[in-house]
């Protein structure tokens, strides 16, 4: 028996808003909604609010600052928001954005990231902050704003992240904005080892110190909607996925969505001066060492479009092609890349002959190219001592049967495929249930595993790995 209370989890990702309504005690999803976001790497944050309205099939009143209670949210006893990490929402004293929100995948601050990295040195960043600057981080975007729009930088009274902004809107913008450790740790100016903002960095990049969201504990309540529904602290999307899946040490989550992310959980802070591994915080009070790639599921979609097929046919082609793509190697840096740090890179298809240039082999090469970039990420985690025994494969790309089965061979370890679910939104819902019930740990919700794929030691995987590493070194020097 359950007490019947429901909680709502919101995932405001790069591409869409997903909402799940969940039984607080069991984690069973009883209702859900979804709405798309506009394309682009710089957007009006109001689009996220409009997508939330559509996702819960309700209108939230005429006041643009009003709280959202209609639709499924009105049935919840608590709400939590998880959203795309990093980004920059700079707002003025009246709460209005001074510039479109710059998203994590906006690469325009690459020069500022390089200067910050060089000015303090990667060892300092890794040991003091937990991360080494890349263009995704908020600190680099603030530096870009100050250098390119000093008038807008001067007007900036507060800086929020996407989940901070949506949580604040749910609270009718009542009181000061808040955040949590997981999202704050992706700004570039929150020290994970010291558990505090480094306002000296903020002043260095922006020219002054604006209001920064209060960092709440994982089970704290940020405030309430205007009808009294508690709004939990919220979290970044990767921390939300880890919470939704209940990941433990020894497991690594590999999420193949708009971006590719590879992350695990540890009890101790992580320091990687190479900058490959970000020493983020998680949503439970622990730590979340993570690597992210710009290119993931969109590589598959772009290749399918080039071949003139839908994703179902693309998957069939990729399963029909030679296991090693008959010598074709795709380096999938189609939109630049974050790991390795190559923001201006383009992709490459290497080893083309008349014999192997078939639709089947090109589809297979796209799948293998994505998996090899994720294999790079796993190797980087292992290099700093993170134990990895098995992978949990999630995200839109994980629906590909060709990708699932190739993953076990490329990763050389068992691949577990959880039942399809919106795990970021589910993690947010689990946090809302935690805030509702209290305690030192989140509620224990079971994760159903649909498939476990064991590696067979296929010889082609080593050949593909060697070709990929050689081509990457030759083309990009890494």
pLDDT tens digit sequence for 189-226: 999 999 999 999 999 999 999 999 999 999 999 999 98
Taking the C-alpha atoms of residue 315 and residue 61, their distance in angstroms, rounded to an integer, is 44
Is 272 noted as a catalytic residue in this protein?
Answer: no
Are 147 and 268 part of one and the same domain?
Answer: no
Are 254 and 357 part of one and the same domain?
Answer: yes
Residue 275 binned pLDDT confidence (cut-offs 50, 70, 90) = confident
Of the listed ranges 60-69, 245-254, 375-384, 422-431, the one predicted with least confidence? 60-69
| Helices (H), ranges, 80-171 | 110-120, 122-128, 138-148, 150-155, 162-170
The two structure tokens encoding residue 282: 């998680």
Of 203, 222, 238, the domain-final residue: 238
pLDDT tens column, 334-383 = 999 988 888 889 999 999 999 999 999 999 999 999 999 999 999 999 99
Are 257 and 282 part of one and the same domain?
Answer: yes
Taking the C-alpha atoms of residue 347 and residue 313, their distance in angstroms, rounded to an integer, is 23
Q: Give the number of domains in the chain.
A: 2
Residue 432 within any structural domain of the chain: no
Taking the C-alpha atoms of residue 249 and residue 284, their distance in angstroms, rounded to an integer, is 13
| Helices (H), ranges, 149-264 | 150-155, 162-170, 181-184, 199-206, 237-245
Which H helix or E strand runs over 434?
helix 423-437
Taking the C-alpha atoms of residue 396 and residue 299, their distance in angstroms, rounded to an integer, is 12
Residue 436 within any structural domain of the chain: no
Are 145 and 279 part of one and the same domain?
Answer: no
Are 271 and 215 part of one and the same domain?
Answer: no
Catalytic residue among 237, 335, 341, 376: 237
Taking the C-alpha atoms of residue 404 and residue 315, their distance in angstroms, rounded to an integer, is 11
Cα pseudo-dihedral 55, 173, 42, 162, rounded to 10: -70
Are 232 and 274 part of one and the same domain?
Answer: no
pLDDT tens column, 149-177 = 999 999 999 999 999 999 999 999 999 99
Residue 429 within any structural domain of the chain: no
Are 322 and 231 part of one and the same domain?
Answer: no
**Nearest of 374, 410, 376, 186 to residue 296 by alpha carbon:** 374
Residue 424 within any structural domain of the chain: no
Taking the C-alpha atoms of residue 156 and residue 138, their distance in angstroms, rounded to an integer, is 14
Angle made by CA atoms 337, 139, 109, in degrees to the nearest 5:
45
3-state secondary structure of 48: helix
DSSP-derived letter for residue 442 is -
Domain extent for 76 = 6-238
User: What CATH number is given to the structural domain containing 127?
Assistant: 3.30.420.40
Q: What is the pTM of this model?
A: 0.87
Are 58 and 101 part of one and the same domain?
Answer: yes
pLDDT at 60 over 80: no
Distance of CA 93 to the CA centre of its chain: 29
């Amino acid at each position: 028996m359950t007490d019947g209370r429901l909680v709502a989890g919101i995932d405001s990702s790069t591409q869409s808003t997903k909402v799940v309504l969940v039984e607080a005690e069991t984690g069973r999803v009883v209702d859900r909604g979804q709405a798309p976001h506009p394309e682009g790497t710089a957007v009006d944050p109001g689009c996220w609010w409009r997508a939330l309205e559509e996702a819960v099939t309700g209108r939230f009143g005429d006041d643009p600052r009003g709280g959202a209670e209609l639709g499924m949210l009105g049935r919840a006893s608590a709400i939590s928001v998880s959203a795309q990490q990093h980004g920059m929402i700079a707002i003025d004293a009246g709460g209005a954005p001074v510039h479109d929100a710059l998203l994590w995948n906006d690469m325009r601050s690459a020069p500022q990231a390089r200067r910050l990295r060089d000015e303090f040195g990667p060892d300092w960043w890794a040991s003091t902050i937990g991360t080494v600057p890349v263009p995704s981080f908020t600190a680099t975007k603030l530096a870009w704003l100050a250098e390119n729009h000093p008038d807008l930088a001067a007007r900036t009274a507060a800086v929020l992240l996407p989940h901070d902004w949506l949580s604040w809107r749910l609270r009718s913008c009542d009181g000061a904005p808040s955040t949590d450790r997981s999202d704050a740790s992706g700004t570039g100016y929150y020290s994970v080892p010291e558990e505090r903002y480094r306002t000296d960095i903020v002043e260095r990049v922006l020219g002054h110190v604006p209001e920064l969201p209060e960092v709440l504990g994982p089970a704290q309540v940020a405030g309430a909607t205007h009808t009294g529904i508690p709004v939990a602290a919220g979290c970044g999307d990767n921390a939300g996925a880890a919470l939704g899946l209940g990941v433990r040490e020894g497991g690594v989550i590999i999420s193949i969505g708009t971006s590719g992310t590879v992350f695990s959980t540890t009890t101790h802070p992580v320091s990687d001066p190479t900058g490959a591994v970000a020493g983020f915080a998680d949503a439970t009070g622990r730590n979340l060492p993570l690597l992210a790639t710009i290119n993931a599921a969109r590589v598959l979609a772009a290749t399918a479009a080039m071949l003139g097929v839908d994703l179902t046919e693309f998957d069939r082609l990729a399963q029909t092609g030679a296991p090693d793509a008959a010598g074709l190697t795709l380096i999938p840096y189609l939109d630049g890349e974050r790991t390795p740090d190559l923001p201006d890179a383009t992709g490459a298809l290497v080893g083309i002959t008349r014999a192997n240039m078939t639709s089947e082999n090109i589809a297979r090469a796209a799948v293998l190219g994505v998996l090899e970039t994720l294999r790079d990420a796993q190797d980087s985690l292992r290099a700093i001592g993170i134990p990895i025994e098995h992978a949990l494969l999630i995200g839109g790309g994980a629906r590909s049967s060709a990708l699932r089965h190739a993953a076990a061979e490329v990763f050389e370890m068992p691949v577990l495929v959880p039942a399809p679910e919106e795990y970021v939104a589910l993690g947010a819902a689990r946090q809302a249930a935690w805030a509702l019930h209290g305690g030192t740990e989140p509620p224990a919700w079971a994760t159903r595993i649909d498939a476990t794929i064991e590696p067979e030691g296929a010889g082609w995987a080593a050949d593909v790995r060697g070709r990929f590493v050689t081509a990457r070194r030759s083309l990009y020097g890494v």
